[in-house]
Structure 1
Amino acid sequence: MDMFFRYVGENWIYLIELAYQHILMVLLAILFALVVGVPLGIVAARVPKLANLILGLANVVQVFPSLAMLVLLMIVFGLGFTTVVIGLFLYSLLPIIRNTYVGLTQVDPAITEAGRGVGMSSLQLLFRVQLPLAMPFVFTGIRVAAVIAIGVATIAPLIGGEGLGREVYSGINMDNPARLYAGAIPAALLALLADLFLGKLQRRVGQGKAA
C-alpha cells in the first residue's frame, strides 16, 4: 500500500483529471438517457400495446455484453469519447424506462380520476399528478443507471476513451498494482458516492410526496 499512496501523492492531479473525464462521460450518458428514457416510459405506460416492445428492446441492449457493444459502436462511430458516451447512454436506458413505466402504472387510479373530476386535461394529469407521484421510481432508475454507467465506463480506454479505466488497464499491462488500485479504488468510490447521493435524493422526493 505504500507504493499506492506514493503513486497517488505524485500523480493526484492526473488522477483528478481522469476522474473528471469519468464523471463527465457518465453525466452526459445519464442526461441523454433521461431525455429519451422518460418519454419512452411515459409512452409505455399510456399505450400498453407498446409497453412490451419498448421494454423488450431496452432489455436486449441491457443484456448485450458491454465490451461487445462498445466494439460494435466503435465500428460505426470510431474511437473516443463520443462512442463511450453513446454506449453508456444505451446501458442507462432500461433502468430509466422501466422505472418511469412502473412509477406511472403504480399511481392510484382514484387520484387520476379525482384529477379528471376537477377538469384536468391528460397533459395536466401527467405533469401535475402522475409524474410527480412517480418521481421516487424515476430516481431509482437514475440511481441504478448511474452505478451501471460508472462501472461500464472503466472499459472506455479499450476503445480510445479516457477515465479511471486508463489507470486500471495501465496497471494490468505494466504489472503495476499501484496504478491498478489508483484507477479501481476511485471508480468504486464514485459508484458508492453516486448510490448514496441519489439514494438520499430518492428518499427526500419520496418523503415530499408522502407529506
Structure 2
Amino acid sequence: MPEAGALPALFDGDVLVPGSPGYDEARAVWNGTVDRRPRYVVRCAGPADVRTAVRVSRDLGLPLGIRCGGHSAVGHAVPDDGLMIDLSRMRGVTVDPGARTAHVQGGALLGSLDAATQPYGLATTAGIVSHTGIGGLALGGGVGWLARAVGLTCDNALGYEVVTADGDLVRATAQENPDLFWALRGGGGNFGVVTRFDLALHDVGTRALSAEVDL
C-alpha cells in the first residue's frame, strides 16, 4: 500500500489535496449544489496515470470518481474523502479523414471534437452543448443533432481504450472483449475508466442552416 505522502511521485500528472492551489476549482462541477471534498484529485497526464490512480484507490480503500467535462448532475465525479480521477489534461482529438474516424481522449469536450472534425466536413452525434464531456455523453448513450440521421453517439462507437477495476489497460471492440464493448455502449458507467473513444464520422459538409422563427 503506498504512503499518502508518496503519491505525487507515482504520477506524471498533478496530485491535489485540500489546500493545494487549484484544488477547489478541480472539485467543482456544473451542479453548484455539489460540494464534496476528495482526499486526492489526480490530474492524469495519460492512461498510465489512470491505471496508477485506480490501483492506489483500491489499495487505500478510497471511493473513486472520474471527472471528464464536469457536467455530472448528481456529482458522482466527486467522491467525498475519496480519490477523484481528473481527465481534464487528456483532451486530445485525432481525426483520420480517409477512414472517417476520430480518436478522442477521455477528457475531451464536445467542442474540441467538433473543432477537429469540422474542417473535413465530418461529424458524429455529439450532444448540443460544447462544454459537455465526451465520457458522460457517450457512455450514457449520447443524443444530439445528428441522432436521427446516424444514430446515438454510442451507435457510432468503434472501440474503447479502458482501464479496468484491476488497473489493466484493455481494448474493447466488437471483436475484442465484446461483452465490455456491449456494456460501454450506453451502459452509463462503472465498467472502467475510458481513456479513449474511437468514433465513426459522417459526411455533413462545412455549412449549417440556421433559422430564427419570430412567433
- TM-score normalized with structure 2 length: 0.25
Q: Which has the higher contact order (CA 8 A, sep 6+)?
A: 1
From the CA coordinates, give the structure whose radius of gyration is larger. Answer: 1
- TM-score normalized with structure 1 length: 0.25
More strand as a share of residues: 2
